[in-house]
Amino acid sequence: MTWILDFILVLGGLIFFHELGHFLAARMLGIGVKTFSLGFGPRLAGITWGSTNYRLSLIPLGGYVSLAGEERDTTEDSGFEEKELFMGRPPWHRMIVVAAGPLFNFLLAWLIFWIIILTHGQMGLAPEVGKLQPESPALAAGLQEGDTVLSIDGKNIIFWSDLAQTIQSSTTDSLDFVINRDGRELNIVIRPQVQELKNIFGETIRRPVVGIIASGESKTLKLDGISGAVAAAEQTWSVTRLICTSIVKMVERVVPMDSIGGPIMIAQAIKQQSERGLLQLLQFTAFISINLGLLNLLPIPVLDGGHLLFFGIETVMRRPLNEKLQAVATKAGLIFLLCLMTFAIINDLTREVLK
């Protein structure tokens, strides 16, 4: 049952790191922080340092930050000067504090990927040919099973993903492959064919192919600190793009709405990754952290993205958005999120029943 502890640590850690971003940004700008809590609910223990109460709370799923003067009609807060009040600050100060939470989720994902790369190396499928499809361009050109692709049209190929992307994005009639065969480097020219394929979202697309299948062998590339940091940033960006594309495809109804999952699906996924080992659990944590960051950046009132929208409008209009309009939008955003959460939980329960 250690996965339950993993569930608490993953979700609690992600939310805590998110709130840490808000806290550090507020302190950096000199905005007063009333409370910084590790966990929710009743206070178990804590200390007051300066004007901030640092506390440990009963429910260990995350934490929260309470800023001085978060409400616009608050003119003073006990123990804080007027210049320390959040709503008394210019909009761009407030936007920095709000944006720091989601940005820290992306930072956490990057740190996790970087640590994994430094300790285990950058891992991926080797660009080794496993099978050749009958009557394929690769077979006709003389490519053989067991060949390792070193470069295509002068572009170095490190992993199979590099190979696939290079072929599918090509616009020329022929591709110059440099391969390793039994320790010898050979040049082979392959003329790709355009075929209809299914992408990861089930859509039919037309892409150049040469008719080769990966051997399935894995490859690990050792990187130093700087190159590892760059690779971690690229991996973070790649996952972010994939999640953004998935959200768009969901809105377009390409991805079915029943794929939306809630806390039960997340708990099951954490359990599965926990059973597979620490490395897989860390990778999944980075993935969820990016999800959390993107979710909070959506321009929905109640979320950080909604606050950024309000403060952005205030910056352009040079005056705060009408309070009644903000209140209505906030209620609508809250109702939307509650409906979405309910829908996700129903999906989770439906999947459990259909198992």
Q: In this structure, is residue 134 part of a structural domain? A: yes
Tens digits of pLDDT across the chain (355 residues): 677 888 888 988 899 899 999 999 999 999 999 999 988 888 889 999 888 899 988 887 778 899 998 876 555 566 788 888 998 899 999 999 999 999 999 999 999 999 999 999 998 999 999 999 999 999 999 999 999 999 999 999 999 999 999 999 998 899 999 999 999 999 999 999 998 888 777 788 889 999 999 999 999 999 999 999 999 999 999 999 999 998 888 888 777 877 788 888 888 889 899 888 899 999 999 999 999 999 999 999 889 999 999 999 999 998 988 888 989 999 999 999 899 889 888 988 888 777 6
Q: Are residues 147 and 286 in the same domain?
A: no
Per-residue pLDDT, 77: 65
What whole-number distance in Å separates Cα of residue 185 and Cα of residue 123?
A: 24
Two tokens, residue 333: 């955003």
Per-residue pLDDT, 92: 95
Torsion of CA 167, 171, 174, 176, to 10 degrees: -50
Q: Are residues 110 and 252 in the same domain?
A: yes
Residue ending a domain, choose from 161, 189, 221: 221
Per-residue pLDDT, 74: 55
- The DSSP code for 187 is E
Q: Which domain holds residue 297?
A: 2-29+89-121+237-354
| Nearest one of 158, 186, 185, 190 to 174, comparing CA atoms | 190
Q: How many domains does the chain have?
A: 2
Per-residue pLDDT, 202: 78
Residue count of the chain: 355
Per-residue pLDDT, 18: 94
Are the C-beta atoms of residues 149 and 129 closer than 8 Å to each other?
A: yes
Q: Are residues 323 and 174 in the same domain?
A: no
What whole-number distance in Å separates Cα of residue 330 and Cα of residue 307?
A: 10
Per-residue pLDDT, 297: 95
Q: Are residues 173 and 251 in the same domain?
A: no
- Cα 32 versus chain centre, distance: 30
Residue type, 274: S
Q: Are residues 262 and 328 in the same domain?
A: yes
pTM: 0.86
Q: In this structure, is residue 208 part of a structural domain? A: yes
Q: In this structure, is residue 314 part of a structural domain? A: yes
- Cα 21 versus chain centre, distance: 16
Question: Which CATH number do you get for residue 212?
Answer: 2.30.42.10
- The DSSP code for 341 is H
Per-residue pLDDT, 1: 63
Half-sphere exposure of 97 (CA within 13 A, CB side): 25
Q: In this structure, is residue 194 part of a structural domain? A: yes
Residue ending a domain, choose from 158, 186, 221: 221
What are the φ/ψ torsions at residue 195 (nearest 5 degrees)? -130, 165
Half-sphere exposure of 165 (CA within 13 A, CB side): 9
Are the C-beta atoms of residues 65 and 22 closer than 8 Å to each other?
A: yes
Q: Are residues 14 and 142 in the same domain?
A: no
Q: In this structure, is residue 65 part of a structural domain? A: no
The residue assigned the tokens 């993903």 is: 161
Q: Are residues 163 and 258 in the same domain?
A: no
* Residues involved in catalysis: 19
